[in-house]
Structure 1
Amino acid sequence: MRVKSRRCPGTALTPVIPRVSQGPRFRPPAGSRRDWIGPPDKRSNLRPVIFHVPPRESPLERRLRELREETQAWNQHFWARQNTAFQREKEEFIYSRLKAKGLETRDEAGYARSL
């Protein structure tokens, strides 16, 4: 397993922390009449959904769609943060275990060590 990290002079192994994404980068065609589900987000691993807005959307349908969009945004933010924190803590754990065994974070060939 290769660990994606960067080495800062005079410091321990520093994990690369990705930004939280701002939303889906794809857009369905203007005439689309269905919800569109995009590819998994790199940070949250959730598939973003762009909900179809019918031309004669009732107030109740609108409220449901808006609640679904809010829930999707909350889930996106939560899982992006959760996965980022997990990766960072995983890197710290691997570093602490390697340090306890007296090993460097890189082997003789320059590859990141794993447990």
Structure 2
Amino acid sequence: MTDRLDQVFAALADPTRRAILSLLLEDDMAVTDVAAPFDISLAAVSKHLATLSRAGLIVQERRGRVVWCKLDPVALADASTWMQGFGQFEPVHLDAFERYLAEQFRGDVDRAGE
């Protein structure tokens, strides 16, 4: 399971691959249609698609001469399940944390002026 999660998170780390997944949320697409919005070569898009495929995030299927890409949500579900394990912790209250730091800073300044 760890190796698969590593592949999923490595694939999601790239903004182009995340954008590709967003496109595939709407519908299955041919590789050329996936490549159209990006200002990179078709070969570069194909490499991104291969990474997404190895991570299990998409499935590629040849239909005649055209390769179609389809989102496969199972790998995302596994990653989501793993991340939900961290939901048990209290969220950080940034306002309270900022007040604490300001008080600490004031205390340091007051002590330095003594």
Give the greater-gyration-radius structure (CA): 2
Determine which structure has greater relative contact order: mean sequence separation of CA pairs < 8 Å that are 6+ residues apart, divided by chain length.
1
* Larger fraction in helix: 2
The TM-score with structure 2 as length reference comes to 0.29
